[in-house]
Amino acid sequence: MANLTTLFAGRISSPNPFYLASGPPANNGEQIMRAFDAGWGGAVWKTIGEPIVNVSSRYSSVDLNGYRMMGLNNIELISDRPISDNLREISEVKKRYPKHAVIASLMVESKREIWHDIVKRAEDAGSDGLELNFGCPHGMSERGMGSAVGQVPEYACMITEWVKEVARTPVLVKLTPNISDIRTVARAAKKGGADALSAINTINSITGIDLDTLTPRPNVGGKSSHGGYCGPAVKPIALHMVQQIASDPQVQLPISAIGGISGWRDAAEFILLGAGTLQACTAPMHYGFRIVEDMIDGLSHWMDSKGYANLDSFRGLSLPRVTDWQHLDLNYKIVARINPDTCIGCQLCYTACWDGAHQCIHVDGAAKPEIAAAKTAASIVNTPTTPTVSHATPAKRIPKVDEHECVGCNLCWLVCPVENCISMVRIDKGDHPQSWAERVKSA
């Protein structure tokens, strides 16, 4: 089996890179110890600060085609438990699980002496590291904390400097995605002396409105508020921002990745973009702590199949493959090809191409796309997605691609309900790659 042991920020060790993110699953010591028993390698404690009063209700979600909690919105704030209770339980967890990582997430008033005090207390309790919560987008920002700090590079740098004046353990700065360029605050954290970064925190959101009461969700006495959005829906945004930070030569800090991580594939993708550890919150809230078993087994087996002995063997390997658009090869050419033996004749690709793309798919004698679309849903519902026998019969009108008109946009491939029915095939010879930047330069 591949070796998943992790050393993060030079000094924080854990049996694997899977951490509970700061949030409800890491609210107290009893939860975190159960998580460690289930296999989690570490935990970032739910943010500690002066206790607050939370509201009821707190969560809402976006569901999609039967998938519950594709995106989760919360208006819950930091820990509502006394600081002393949290610190006592940190000590207890570290005594019982000395090989697991326990990181204290901190958020207090923007005063130097208050930050000094909470840092010393958290480290005295046994924390392996400190995560400075500069990202919370709701509730705390109105009090001059959270994203109110993380959106201003000068503030982020200043508070990081205050913490580093007394900290003995690695300091992580948790970044907000609610900013035009996350790299600006990452650079500020680096300037302030941060040892690592956590990214991303939740995204400002309103998930929906009850059309009977006209109140956005979650409903708190007939009113609601913007909240923090997380879960699988935010993963593409998190991947982008992790890549942006990891590729920035002015940052060059270890990254603890957060954002929609719910399986081993997600984990592998974030590591390929430079992540050192992986934090999950929505997934254990949805499925429970034992979800980590599949994460560990899946990542280990994938690493074995690829010949990666440890996490460092593939960390960051995808970073050189991400570039600015101006450097992409304009002469690279692919086209869509449809397998008539597996095509079920639903004509969804035809409709999508004509209404949403470049009108290169044709069906002999077919109805207009808007009429074909009306028949598509019923066709798909009653059709197996992985046919084992040929469906090509004279009665079926199989779409055909005009390869001279096809621009290789991928839309037909993306909407096709039959796996491997449509293939995107390269047709250029690859002899003369040319980017837009090169073409402008040679013009």
Whether the Cβ atoms of residue 76 and residue 59 lie closer than 8 Å to each other: yes
Q: Rounded to whole angstroms, how far apart are CA atoms 431 and 424?
A: 19
**Distance set, CA 98 to CA 29, 84, 91, 278, 326 (Å):** 14, 21, 10, 20, 49
Strand order in the sheet with 227-230: 59-64, 67-74, 227-230, 203-205
Q: Rounded to whole angstroms, how far apart are CA atoms 78 and 26?
A: 11
Q: Catalytic annotation on 157? A: no
Q: Rounded to whole angstroms, how far apart are CA atoms 424 and 430?
A: 16
Q: What is the three-class DSSP state of 255?
A: strand
Whether the Cβ atoms of residue 128 and residue 12 lie closer than 8 Å to each other: yes
Burial of 28 (0-12, 13-18, 19+ CB in 10 A): middle
DSSP secondary structure, 58-107, as one string: -EEEEEETTEEEEEEEE---S--S-HHHHHHHHHHHHHH-TTSEEEEEE-
Q: Rounded to whole angstroms, how far apart are CA atoms 81 and 246?
A: 35
Work out the end-to-end distance of the chain between its first and last CA atoms, rounded to an integer number of angstroms: 54
Nearest by Cα to 259 from 226, 237, 285: 237
> One of 136, 349, 360, 416 is an active-site residue; which one?
136
Active site residues: 136
